[in-house]
């Protein structure tokens, strides 16, 4: 589960002074969003146009919706939106503000919207659910934080590869894939302490999460952008690394769509 540590790292990397263009005015998909901490941080702080959080556990999705409502209740909108304006004691005393536009709408809104309208949560097994035609190539960023271990252990190497391929299809050309792979020792720990039933699955895994799953991502359509974190001396989440990959631009299609001047500017802007 991605914790405040991952959230803080993401905000440091992609917040003020960081690569904020990665999320600003973009459509984001957070697979395995858990309680929605990172999802809401991106939608509230990093100016994403729309963020969709997906998790297989409906209980966690409910908690995520409550968390979104809590963040919404705390903020004061106006000329200058203040995120942590109203005290927590007021929320406890008077209750949370109702979400007037609540619902499970997951359509991508064409215009820039603000938190919480730009955030949706859906309980769904994203790996098993077929990617609809309206979901192919629409996301600018796909996040998979502290997720790959569980896909790997439950669905083996084939399932993990299928997941990466699905992320590739869901991204638009030039879109970014942010993955926080759990290290191999955590697989062993998870099997020993939490899911003994997966012990037999562990022996069948050939891929290893280190080095971008043994370079598999690089060899299967992804471009590596950068790697952050991964403190070898740290423990737990301090030792995790965040890897950012990019779906290659479909240069041919881009040339057809834009003028030569815009094309030149676009190519220069891409990091």
Partner 1 sequence: MFVPRTVKRKLPHAVPAELPPRALQPISTGSVAAQPESSNPADTSSKHPPRAPTGPVQQPKKGPNYSEEDLAWKHIVALEMLFAPSSSVRFAAKSIDGSSGWIHLSHIISHRSISNLRPSPSQIALATALRTIPSALIELSADGYHVRQRELPFNPLIGTDDEMTIYVEPVPAKLTDDALDVAVALRKEMSAEDPCLPIQRVFGLGRGYALVLLSSIVDESTVKNIKMPMTWMVLTKAEHDRRDVEYQRLIQSDYDALRRRRRVSPEPRRREEGRLTPPREVGRLTPPPLPSLPPKSRPASTSTPTPYEKGLILHLSHLHEETNKPTIQSFLAQVANRQQYFDKNPSAQLEYDGAPIEDATDTNLVHVQYVDYTKPSDTAYVRLSTPAEAILLARALTFQHRVMRAKDDCKGTSVGENSERKYVVGNVLEGERERIYWEMLEDAKTKGKRKRKAGDQDRSRAVESVGEVQQLVVNKAKGTHMKFD
Q: What is the spatial distance between Cα 106 and Cα 135, in angstroms, rounded to a whole number?
A: 11
Least distance (Å) from partner 1 to the CB of residue 48? Answer: 22
Chain residues 187-216 in contact with partner 1, contact rule CB under 8 A: none
- Of the candidates 25, 58, 81, 88, which one interacts with partner 1 according to CB under 8 A? 88
Size of the site for partner 1 (CB under 8 A): 23
Position 94 contacts partner 1 (CB under 8 A): yes
Q: Which stretch binds partner 1 (CB under 8 A): 85-93, 193-201, 223-231, 239-247?
A: 85-93
**DSSP E strand stretches across the chain:** 27-31, 50-55, 119-123, 139-145, 171-180, 223-229, 241-246
CA separation for the pair 122, 146 (Å, rounded): 18
Taking contact as CB under 8 A, which single stretch among the options 31-39, 88-96, 188-196, 252-260 is the one that binds partner 1?
88-96
107 is a site residue for partner 1 (CB under 8 A): no
Q: Of the listed pieces 91-99, 196-204, 227-235, 254-262, which binds partner 1 according to CB under 8 A?
A: 91-99
Cβ atoms within 10 A of the Cβ of 114, count?
Answer: 14
- Rounded Cα distance, 229 and 218, in Å: 19
User: Do 53 and 122 contact (CB within 8 A), yes or no?
Assistant: yes
Residues forming the site for partner 1 (CB under 8 A):
59, 65, 73, 84-100, 102-104
């Amino acid at each position: 589960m991605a914790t405040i540590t991952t959230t803080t790292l993401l905000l440091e990397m992609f917040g003020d002074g960081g690569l904020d263009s990665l999320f600003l005015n973009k459509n984001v998909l957070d697979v395995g969003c858990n309680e929605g901490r990172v999802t809401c941080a991106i939608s509230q702080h990093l100016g994403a146009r729309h963020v969709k959080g997906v998790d297989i556990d409906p209980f966690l999705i409910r908690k995520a919706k409550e968390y979104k409502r809590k963040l919404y209740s705390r903020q004061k909108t106006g000329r200058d939106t203040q995120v942590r304006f109203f005290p927590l004691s007021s929320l406890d005393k008077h209750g949370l503000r109702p979400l007037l536009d609540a619902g499970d709408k997951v359509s991508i809104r064409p215009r820039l919207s603000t938190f919480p309208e730009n955030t949706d949560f859906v309980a769904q097994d994203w790996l098993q659910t077929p990617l609809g035609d309206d979901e192919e190539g629409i996301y600018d960023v796909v996040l998979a934080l502290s997720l790959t271990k569980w896909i790997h252990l439950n669905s083996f190497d084939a399932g993990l590869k299928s997941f990466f391929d699905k992320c590739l299809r869901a991204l638009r050309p030039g879109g970014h894939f942010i993955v926080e792979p759990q290290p191999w020792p955590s697989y062993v720990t998870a099997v020993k302490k939490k899911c003994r039933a997966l012990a037999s699955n562990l022996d069948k895994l050939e891929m290893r999460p280190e080095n971008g799953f043994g370079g598999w991502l690089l060899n299967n359509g992804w471009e590596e952008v950068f790697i952050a974190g991964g403190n070898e001396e740290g423990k737990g989440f301090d030792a995790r690394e965040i890897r950012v990959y990019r779906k290659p631009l479909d240069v041919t299609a881009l040339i057809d769509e834009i003028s030569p001047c815009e094309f030149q500017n676009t190519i220069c802007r891409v990091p």
